[in-house]
Amino acid sequence: MKNFFQKSGRLLAHGFVFSALLFTSCSEDSIEADAGITPDVQNLQIALKERPAEPIIIGDLGPSAIQTAVQQTTEAPGIDRGRFNISLNFLLPPTDRQLEVFEAAAARWERIIIGDVPSIEGPLPSAFAGFPAIEGPIDDIVIEVALAPIDGPGGVLGQAGPQFVRNADFLPVSGVMFFDVADLDFLEQLDLFEEVIVHEMGHVLGVGTLWNSFGRTLLEGPISNPFFTGRQANVFWNAEGGTNELPIENVGGPGTALGHWRESILNNELMTGFLNLGENPLSRITAGSMRDLGYRSASVGESYDLPRGAAGVDINELVSEEVEGGEGINIAKMETILMPIGIIK
């Protein structure tokens, strides 16, 4: 992660200036906002802003009409649309296929996270150097998506994570997904493009990124045998047939370990660090973990089979065996998980 930010710092130093042609898409509607200047897409250098040394605190936005409206009309259509909404801001015009995949990914998460959360008036700073602020209102999270050249085929796939969290619930109000266009064909060939995007969106929403921040202690145990302490996720872990505590990944180095479910036990669950060929469902275990983060999530997930008696972490016996994954892609090795950079007061 450090290397990446050093690199983006250099790009920033080139004084790259960009006036926006911003493509906004929600899972149900598409809006194009043309600020008037069409960039030369070929020569565009896209880079995340340098990471701040200290968390950015965006001051009191004042009493917001939106916030008031939320409390009164959460179930009503209108500003909050009565449910949890993920909006996508594409920095560059997506292809039809890219748009389809990102919207399908957002829709899969909107079936898992169902409850509206307070909207934010905005604006919020963009995660990307030289890009204009994200205009509000933000209902309920906006994800800035950049599909741009990074390092060619292989190597780095991209970065994803939350950017700003709201201080009411410490859930993210903005996030970033920045991927290497050179790797998308490869994912498509494996029929894993959508799976990867859903997986990365999970990190933006908080899986492995918000477990132990802002007062949460959802991850516990020794690094060799960590487990998830959230009650809802564990209820479903046990209901699926898992024993003891829900195991978190303990191998694979930084970014893989401690940020995913344990591959050797949860196998093809989508939020493991290794994507299997074939189906990678978002189970109700993950749905439960979203509730443990503070979302109102569904109590059903996508169809998922965990072998009955799958070994969880016995907190009285914190030793574990290491098992590598099978055929598929090691998504966690290709991604960089970004942690939040600030709070909206």
Residues in contact with Zn ion by CB under 5 A are: 332
Write the CA distances from 41 to 52, 151, 321, integer angstroms. 27, 17, 48
Which residue, 148, 135, 108, is CA-closest to 24? 135
Q: Which residues contact 100 (CB under 8 A, 6 or more apart)?
A: none
Q: Are 144 and 111 in contact (CB under 8 A)?
A: no
Q: Tell the smallest beta-carbon distance from residue 268 to Ca ion (Å).
A: 5
**Distance from chain centroid for Cα 56:** 19
Nearer to Zn ion, 213 or 238 (CB): 213
Nearer to Zn ion, 210 or 332 (CB): 332
* Residues near Ca ion (CB under 5 A): 80-81, 85, 116, 119, 139-140, 151, 155-156, 180, 183, 272, 274, 276
Nearer to Zn ion, 46 or 196 (CB): 196
User: What single-letter DSSP state applies at residue 244?
Assistant: S
Q: Tell the smallest beta-carbon distance from residue 335 to Zn ion (Å).
A: 5
Nearer to Ca ion, 184 or 218 (CB): 184
For residue 318, the one-letter residue type is L
Token code pair at residue 278: 């074939």
Q: In this chain, which residue has its C-beta nearest to Zn ion?
A: 332
Q: Which option in Ca ion, Zn ion, none does residue 66 bind, with CB closer than 5 to 8 A by kind? A: none
Q: Tell the smallest beta-carbon distance from residue 305 to Ca ion (Å).
A: 13
Q: CA–CA separation, 212 vs 223, rounded Å?
A: 14
Q: Which option in Zn ion, Ca ion, none does residue 102 bind, with CB closer than 5 to 8 A by kind? A: none
Q: Which option in Ca ion, Zn ion, none does residue 274 bind, with CB closer than 5 to 8 A by kind? A: Ca ion
Nearer to Zn ion, 198 or 332 (CB): 332
Q: Tell the smallest beta-carbon distance from residue 262 to Ca ion (Å).
A: 10
Q: What are phi and psi of 17, to 5 degrees?
A: -120, 140
Q: Which option in Ca ion, Zn ion, none does residue 264 bind, with CB closer than 5 to 8 A by kind? A: none
Q: Tell the smallest beta-carbon distance from residue 82 to Ca ion (Å).
A: 7
| Number of C-beta neighbours around residue 69 at 10 A | 17
Q: Is 290 helix (H, G, I), strand (E, B) or coil?
A: helix
Nearer to Ca ion, 256 or 272 (CB): 272
Q: Tell the smallest beta-carbon distance from residue 203 to Zn ion (Å).
A: 6
Q: CA–CA separation, 123 vs 138, rounded Å?
A: 9
